[in-house]
Amino acid sequence: MRTYLLAGAVAACAFLSVTTPATAQPLKTVEPGVLTVAFSGDMPGTGWQDGRMTGYDGEVLERVARALNLKIKPALMEWSGTIASVQSGRVDIMAGTMGWTAQRAKIMTLSDPIQYFKNGITQTEKTNWTRLKDLENKKVGTITGFSFIPELRKLDGLTLSLYDTSDAAVRDLLAGRIDAVIGDPPVMQYALSRNPDWKLKFNAFEDNDPKFPLLTGMGQVVFGMNKDSEALASAVNAEIAKLWKECAMRGIGKTYGLEQDVWYVPQGANARHGVDRPESWSLPACP
């Protein structure tokens, strides 16, 4: 999951308003009747095909925009520019398997979760590792810049190899040069679902160890909006709530190989209490 944080420019941008039947209130958007979306096009989170968004995040946004009577305008860019674009008001919302963090909640308005995730172990079908202890004395690959790397280095006897891309790490796993990969969970699951001939599998960590919060804690995938977009955020959250109530999230996820309960049933403490949600707020779920 993307866990690095970028500082955004604080540029001024004039917002225009549009009234939607779904909310009966004016929504501030960059262009009237349009939801401008910043995304990087990394699957299974986001993509653009035949005039519409694809990917898990993309399909959720398509349904939200349709309910709000807004047309999506794509703003495809490098991940490094998405947060800055939201902060400066050049786009209305950003998407792309972005994990909630307290730091991000300080600089953006973050939506209710559209999905959950736990980090886990990508491995061959010959093993069934599910705990941190299983990685002790193993050769493990991960991606340069991931925030949980310091936690991995704490594991006894673990030899860590860093890669620039998930593809490179998986290639070494298939070649037997490493024993496991700790990668971006949705990306790993999606790749495995599309390549059954690899004979690899992804097991989410069963641990919930406070000493390893980034590796074993529950993550929330969210959308990011400008701090001044309160009406838009409320409208988006209302539609997200409907999708959870209908259990539509599982149907969307199945398309991208995300079928395990870990994506739809929250586990562990809710880190958002007292940060950007009140104590009375509960995490949505689709049992």
The answer to whether the CB of 121 falls within 8 A of the CB of 196 is: no
14 pLDDT above the threshold of 60: no
Examine the pLDDT at 244 and tell me if it is beyond 90.
yes
What is the rounded average pLDDT for all residues in the chain? 90
3.20.20.70, 3.40.718.10, 3.90.740.10, 3.40.190.10: CATH of 34-115+220-263: 3.40.190.10
Same fold, 34-115+220-263 and 120-216: yes
Please check whether residue 39 is in contact with residue 75, taking contact to mean a CB–CB distance below 8 angstroms. Answer: yes
Fold for 120-216, please state it: D-Maltodextrin-Binding Protein; domain 2 (3.40.190)
Cα 30–chain centre separation: 24
Percent with pLDDT over 90 in the chain: 76
What mean pLDDT do residues 244-267 have?
Answer: 94
208/127: higher pLDDT: 127
Kindly state the tokens that stand for 169: 């790490």
Token duo for residue 10:
């604080």
* Digit-coded pLDDT (tens) for 94-119: 999 998 988 899 999 999 999 999 99
Give the pLDDT confidence score for residue 26 in this predicted structure: 65
Amino acid 79: pLDDT: 80
pLDDT at 15: 33
pLDDT at 171: 97
Contact 141, 85 (CB under 8 A): no
Which of 8-17, 136-145, 261-270 bottoms out in mean pLDDT, i.e. has the lowest? Answer: 8-17
pLDDT value of residue 75: 98
Q: What letter does residue 100 receive in the DSSP assignment?
A: P
DSSP conformational letter for 46: -
Q: pLDDT digit string (tens) for 171-222?
A: 999 999 999 999 989 889 999 999 999 999 999 999 989 999 889 999 999 9
Verdict on whether the full-model pTM lies above 0.85: no
3 state SS for the chain = CECCCCCCCCCCCCCEEEECCCCCCEEEECECCEEEEEECCCCCCCEEECCEEECHHHHHHHHHHHHCCCEEEEEECCHHHHHHHHHHCCCCEEEEEEECCHHHHHHCEECCCCEEECCEEEEECCCCCCCHHHHCCCEEEEECCCCCHHHHCCCCCCEEEEECCHHHHHHHHHCCCCCEEECCHHHHHHHHHHCHHHCEEEEECCCCCCCCHHHHCCEEEEEEECCCCHHHHHHHHHHHHHHHHCCHHHHHHHCCCCCCHHHCCCCCCCCCECCCECCCCCCCCCC
**Per-residue pLDDT for 6 more than 60?**
no
Domain residue ranges in the chain = 34-115+220-263, 120-216
Mean pLDDT for 270-276 is: 94
Read off the pLDDT band of 25 (50, 70, 90).
Answer: low
pLDDT at residue 17 above 60?
no
